[in-house]
Amino acid sequence: MDIYYSMAFVGILSFGGIFAGVNPSHTPYELEHAFRTAEVKALIVEPELLPNALKAAQQAGIPRSNVFAFDHHTPVDQPWNSDEAWETDIRSWRYLMSQGEADWIKWDNEARSRSTTAARLFSSGTTGLPKAVEMTHHNFIAQHTMVLEHKPRDYEVIRLLCTPMFHVSNVPRAHTSPLRSGLLTYVMRRFELQSWLQNISRFGITEANMVPPMVIQVINSPLTAQYSLASIRNSWVGAAPLAAEPQARYKALLRADTPFNQVWGMSETSCIATMVHYPEQDATGSVGRFLPNMDAKLVDDEGRDITDYDVRGELCARGPLIVKGYFNNARANAESWDQDGYFHTGDIAVRRRHNGLWYIVDRKKELIKVRGFQVAPAELEGILLSHPEISDAAVIGVAAGGTSGATTSGTNTIVKAGEEGSEVPRAYIVLKQGSQLAEREVQAYMKEKLAGYKQLVGGVRFVDSIPKNASGKILKKDLKEIAMREMSARL
């Protein structure tokens, strides 16, 4: 990640091109899928990533002449030279800047802005293979205007970016908003805790956007006590839910008048769709309110509108933040958008009457069905993260028949492993350094907190890390595959 990334983004849009950011950690197989899905015609690739990119490009039919080395670390007055023989025919991206000049593509009406694709980004892929999301120029304008101009701040916005430049959570924030509003923006190649702490103080950073893994590192590291976060005037966390305990601990490191709130959004909402606007503070775990000009409704499993306060349902949204659709994927579009133009997010939400705030309580397809009861993994994860010896946790549902025959009793129900069609919760846990916490202690802790059908009958596994995507969202699909292998090995 580098400030030149933004230059490449703006250059692509300036001549009417379409930006398609891809995760640099992808395998050639994953890259090929991305290239084909977004119909990529040319690549700008950092030299160390060229081997995988070239393999994928060949499979996707992208000629080598359309692959350019992103050699932004080479001095401007020196040509890019590779020591690798297979790279000798790969031109520097500077070749693209030596082909003369032309006027920018300009929009002559709103309709063109709404219909013209600016970027093809990718959905998280947690419900299947990643899909190319079509963000229009109007989506980018709406995202910036609603987040930054709806309620102006009373401080100078100075940002430090360290999350992936290709991801929807950063594309508007890194590539368009700094130019549109002249925001002073510093860029780190990646998040590294000590450097991040140093840069906050060094550059007087006033806004810090976080993802849960960053928060966990900040609150658990002894390094944090050596630095000041007093310059931060506004901070928020998104990409995945954050439990109340780590939210409160991070908030305690900030000024008393500095909010630390949660936001919600996804690729299909052009980044942020709900937030608590500065200077309001919320410690209840809500994701705030919908941004202006957005409509929302809740539907049940059959798609019926059940919108009301204090009612749980799948959250659906429409408005200027909602993307044009999935590129070349009519089936996914038909499944995700209804006849009234609402996008069905797959998130289970509730809006509380007493404060008017929205709460994301789970993902529709991640609910664990225990003998007819629906168990929200987010609830169990929140309890686990409140344990003083647990650093990170994820909960999935596994087939009851795949467990070791455990039985958990509760007040009104009993869950028996092996019942056909039933699932049971299984936890993957990262312990804090030096902890010797045992599974029986975890089970006892959960028994104190939750009803019988919510117990971890599927077992507890201690791991070094929880698999997550670039934005910090837990990859439940990967955990389910791990669980299947673990259970098969015991048979």
Contacts of 28 (CB under 8 A, 6+ apart): 52, 55, 56, 59
Model pLDDT for residues 124-149, shown as the tens digit of each residue? 544 556 899 999 999 999 999 999 99
- Which CATH number do you get for residue 444? 3.30.300.30
Same domain for 319 and 180: yes
How many angstroms separate the CA atoms of 62 and 206, rounded? 43
Residue 114 domain-assigned (yes or no): no
Residue 415: its pLDDT value, please?
Answer: 37
Maximum alpha-carbon separation in the chain: 75
Instruction: Answer left, alpha or beta for residue 333, where phi above 0 means left and psi between -120 and 50 means alpha.
Output: alpha
Same domain for 452 and 333: no
Same domain for 353 and 389: no
How many angstroms separate the CA atoms of 459 and 466, rounded? 16
Residue 421: its pLDDT value, please?
Answer: 52
Residue 107 has pLDDT above 90, yes or no: no
pLDDT class of 243 with cuts at 50, 70, 90: confident
Which tokens in the block code for residue 432? 């804090």
How many angstroms separate the CA atoms of 409 and 203, rounded? 55
Residue 18 domain-assigned (yes or no): yes
Residue 113 domain-assigned (yes or no): no
Which tokens in the block code for residue 307? 């919108």
How many angstroms separate the CA atoms of 259 and 304, rounded? 36
Same domain for 419 and 378: yes
Residue 118 domain-assigned (yes or no): no
Label residues 32-65 b or e (16+ Cβ within 10 Å = b).
Answer: bbbbbbbebeebbbbbebbebbbebbeebebeee
How many angstroms separate the CA atoms of 377 and 479, rounded? 13
Considering 311, 332, 362, which residue would you say is the last residue of a domain? 362
Which tokens in the block code for residue 348? 């289970």
> Got the DSSP string for 187-246?
E-SS--HHHHHHHHHHTT--EEEE-HHHHHHHHH-GGGGGS--TT--EEEE-SS---HHH
Q: Residues 463-482: what's their mean pLDDT? A: 91
Helix/strand/coil for 331:
helix
369 contacts 423 by C-beta, under 8 angstroms? yes
Give me the percent of the chain exceeding a pLDDT of 90.
68
How many angstroms separate the CA atoms of 396 and 367, rounded? 8
Residue 469: its pLDDT value, please?
Answer: 87
Contacts of 458 (CB under 8 A, 6+ apart): 396, 397, 398, 400, 402, 403, 423, 424, 425, 426, 427, 483
Residue 48 belongs to domain spanning: 3-107
- DSSP label at 123? -
- Which CATH number do you get for residue 279? 3.40.50.12780
Same domain for 384 and 336: no
368 contacts 425 by C-beta, under 8 angstroms? yes
Same domain for 215 and 148: yes
Contacts of 390 (CB under 8 A, 6+ apart): 384, 429, 430, 431, 432, 435, 437, 442
Contacts of 402 (CB under 8 A, 6+ apart): 458, 483, 484, 487
Residue with tokens 């959570």: 169
Label residues 260-292 b or e (16+ Cβ within 10 Å = b).
Answer: bbbbbbbbbbbbbbbbbebeeebeebbbbbbbe
Residue 56 domain-assigned (yes or no): yes
Same domain for 329 and 462: no
Same domain for 371 and 337: no
Considering 51, 82, 107, which residue would you say is the last residue of a domain? 107
User: What's the domain count of the chain?
Assistant: 3
130 forms beta bridges with none
Residue 413 has pLDDT above 50, yes or no: no
Residue type, 239: A
Helix/strand/coil for 283:
coil
Which tokens in the block code for residue 486? 């673990």
Residue 126: its pLDDT value, please?
Answer: 43
Q: Residues 29-49: what's their mean pLDDT? A: 94
Same domain for 260 and 193: yes
- DSSP label at 87? G
233 contacts 259 by C-beta, under 8 angstroms? no
Mean pLDDT of the chain: 89
How many angstroms separate the CA atoms of 172 and 178, rounded? 9
Helix/strand/coil for 473:
coil
Considering 362, 387, 402, which residue would you say is the last residue of a domain? 362
Same domain for 389 and 320: no
CB-based burial of residue 131 (10 Å sphere; 0-12 exposed, 13-18 middle, 19+ buried)?
buried
Same domain for 357 and 395: no
pLDDT class of 105 with cuts at 50, 70, 90: confident
47 contacts 70 by C-beta, under 8 angstroms? yes
Residue 46 domain-assigned (yes or no): yes
Model pLDDT for residues 197-234, shown as the tens digit of each residue? 999 999 999 999 999 889 999 999 999 999 999 999 99
Same domain for 391 and 335: no
Q: Residues 84-100: what's their mean pLDDT? A: 78
Residue 133: its pLDDT value, please?
Answer: 96
Give me the percent of the chain exceeding a pLDDT of 70.
90
Residue 8 domain-assigned (yes or no): yes
Residue 67 has pLDDT above 80, yes or no: yes
Residue type, 336: S
Short-list 405, 427, 433, CA closest to 482: 427
Q: Residues 138-164: what's their mean pLDDT? A: 94
Residue 112 domain-assigned (yes or no): no
Residue 491: its pLDDT value, please?
Answer: 60
How many angstroms separate the CA atoms of 85 and 267, rounded? 39
